[in-house]
A and B are shown apart, each in its own frame.
Chain A
Amino acid sequence: MWPLRIVRIADRSMEPTIKDGSFVLATFSFFCIRLGDVVLLRHPSSEMLIIKRVLRISDGMVWVEGDNNKESSDSRKFGWINSKYIAGKVLMRF
């Protein structure tokens, strides 16, 4: 398995940081998530891969939100999620 992957971003909730249709280079796993990191994670109920920014961390749980608050469905909706759902950390965007 490749240690890194390229993922295409669909939709606008991480704008202006990451634009709809752009690509990111991300890890397949994570070792140390810090506040402010942009991460890929599996949605707790749909298993869909989503991209959000980590705004709070507490006891293995993370609070994530999109940068574009008006068009993001995130922890404000599904609450704190277990860090096990994090599927990688975004290293670079194109």
Chain B
Amino acid sequence: MTSIRTTVNSILNAADRIFKFEVAYAHCDVPCGIYDPHAAQLSAHTVIRMDMLIADLSKQQNPTAEDRNKMIRCVQIKEQHAEICKSEVRIIWGDYFKPEHIKANPELNELVWNIMHAASKAKQTVDIKNGEELLANVNRFAEIFWKTKGVETKRAKSFYPTEREMVFPKV
């Protein structure tokens, strides 16, 4: 029986090279255990920075083709980073946080919901207040994340041109 199975497996391997059978993954992802809200924080800062640049460009009385090009690129980057922010938060929320974390931090689900909505609003508008709201929620999310790992955090002004606050783990 084993030799028959081995033979069939060999035939199927050869057939797979031609027909490319569908693949089923035993894992749905790699449980690498590497999670960090830093990417979400960077993205939120990027959204704010794009709002700042867009505000500057909007002041141009007679925008050149170069100005218009820059404006379009800023909007595109703002869109991309708001989406990156949502994705990063979703992954930590869905893959890292466990029921005991939610129980210990009852604000967490609503906070994630607020981040999703703030990021969407930041995409829809060029009002810097929406970017700031996104960052405030993401910073709080970062604090909760590090708390669940038993790591203290501190809030400090970032070194980015946004000059907004950032949550840093005390390591």
Does A94 lie at the interface of the complex (its beta carbon under 8 Å from any beta carbon of B)? Answer: yes
The count of A-to-B residue pairs whose CB atoms sit within 8 angstroms is 83
Expressed in whole angstroms, the minimum distance between the Cβ of A75 and any Cβ of chain B is 11
Selected from A18, A23, A43, A68, the residue in CB contact (under 8 A) with B12 is A23
Residues on B with beta carbons closer than 8 Å to the beta carbon of A33: none
Residue on B with the closest CB to A41? B24
Q: Mark B11-39, 1 if CB is under 8 A from A, else 0.
A: 01001100001111111110100000000
Does B9 lie at the interface of the complex (its beta carbon under 8 Å from any beta carbon of A)? Answer: yes
Residues on B with beta carbons closer than 8 Å to the beta carbon of A51: 24-26
Assuming the contacts A6-B12, A94-B8, asked whether A46 and B28 have C-beta atoms less than 8 A apart, the reply is yes
- Number of chain A residues close to chain B: CB under 8 A: 34
Residues on A with beta carbons closer than 8 Å to the beta carbon of B27: 11-13, 50, 66, 71-73
Selected from A23, A72, A94, the residue in CB contact (under 8 A) with B26 is A72
Expressed in whole angstroms, the minimum distance between the Cβ of A34 and any Cβ of chain B is 20
Does B106 lie at the interface of the complex (its beta carbon under 8 Å from any beta carbon of A)? Answer: no
Interface size for chain B: under 10, 10 to 19, 20 to 34, or 35 or more residues?
10 to 19
Residues on B with beta carbons closer than 8 Å to the beta carbon of A48: 25, 28
Bound CA–CA A74/B27 (angstroms): 8
Bound CA–CA A6/B12 (angstroms): 9
The answer to whether B21 touches A8, judged by C-beta atoms less than 8 angstroms apart, is yes
Assuming the contacts A77-B95, A94-B9, asked whether A46 and B29 have C-beta atoms less than 8 A apart, the reply is yes
Selected from A8, A18, A46, the residue in CB contact (under 8 A) with B23 is A8
Does B103 lie at the interface of the complex (its beta carbon under 8 Å from any beta carbon of A)? Answer: no
Residue on B with the closest CB to A74? B28
Expressed in whole angstroms, the minimum distance between the Cβ of B34 and any Cβ of chain A is 14
Given contact pairs A10-B23, A71-B26, enumerate 4 new A-B contacts (beta carbons under 8 Å). Answer: A5-B21, A5-B22, A6-B15, A6-B21
